[in-house]
């Protein structure tokens, strides 16, 4: 085989490799940017829905009995909107193989955890309706204040995650974790208070114990979301 042929053949193969590499990067960047941008927006919307629902839950307990229907409808609507966002997220994850800012398994987990937050808020609403709750226990608004504070941090942490601000997530996490611990302590004190006195009505105690348990479960799910983002931040640093 002649030397000129070898050189030409080698050069052609190198050109093909360069062209393949170029178009591969081009395709990846187009596909990545399209799916990443939509996915980022959906997660930010989902996180904001969680915060909005927390505020609606707080309002439900703070308002007059005759005004509760408005907050209940808002919570139900926000849960439905969250379901649509989760469906869109899952559709993107099912048809995407490149997500630059988050691992697909982490994205799936976080979507499920945000859904858990909204579902647990809706469950508390169901308890209010089923038990036909009248006057509100004094500790409830303190509890919903924790829920709101934690929920408001979630969109901030999602934005930090989107922009790879891992140090910011790491710095926010301890305060977030402390809120969940304080909420747990509040639930213990609230349930203990239910049993104080000889005139405690067992049915009333059971009803409010279930409600406080439901409120605590919300903070547990909020903590789960933060734990996932913290885990991603630690692995990415």
CATH code that applies to domain 35-236: 1.20.58.220
Question: Model confidence over 84-132: pLDDT tens digits?
Answer: 999 999 999 988 766 777 899 999 999 999 999 999 999 999 999 999 9
Residue 195: predicted pLDDT: 83
Domain spans, the chain: 35-236
For residues 41 and 126, give the distance between their C-alpha atoms in angstroms, rounded to a whole number.
30
Mean pLDDT over the full length of the chain? 87
Residue 2 has pLDDT above 60, yes or no: no
User: What percentage of the chain has pLDDT greater than the value 90?
Assistant: 70
Look up residue 23 and give its two tokens: 């178009």
Look up residue 65 and give its two tokens: 């009995």
Helix (H), strand (E) at residue 204: helix 202-236
């Amino acid at each position: 085989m002649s030397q000129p042929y070898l050189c030409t053949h080698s050069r052609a193969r190198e050109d093909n490799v360069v062209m393949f590499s170029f178009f591969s990067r081009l395709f990846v960047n187009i596909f990545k940017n399209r799916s990443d941008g939509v996915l980022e927006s959906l997660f930010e919307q989902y996180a904001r829905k969680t915060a909005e629902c927390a505020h609606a839950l707080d309002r439900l307990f703070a308002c007059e009995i005759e005004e509760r229907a408005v907050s209940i409808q808002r919570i139900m609507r926000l849960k439905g909107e969250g379901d649509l966002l989760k469906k869109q997220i899952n559709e993107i994850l099912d048809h995407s193989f490149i997500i630059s800012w988050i691992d697909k398994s982490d994205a799936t987990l976080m979507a499920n955890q945000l859904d858990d937050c909204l579902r647990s808020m809706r469950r508390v609403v169901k308890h209010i309706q089923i038990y036909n709750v009248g006057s509100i226990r004094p500790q409830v608004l303190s509890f919903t204040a924790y829920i709101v504070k934690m929920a408001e941090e979630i969109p901030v942490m999602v934005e930090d995650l989107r922009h790879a601000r891992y140090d910011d997530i790491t710095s926010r996490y301890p305060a977030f974790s402390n809120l969940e611990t304080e909420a747990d302590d509040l639930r213990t004190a609230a349930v203990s208070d239910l049993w104080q006195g000889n005139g405690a009505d067992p049915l009333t105690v059971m009803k409010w114990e279930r409600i406080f348990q439901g409120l605590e479960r919300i903070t547990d799910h909020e903590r789960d979301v933060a734990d996932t983002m913290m885990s991603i931040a630690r692995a990415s640093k």
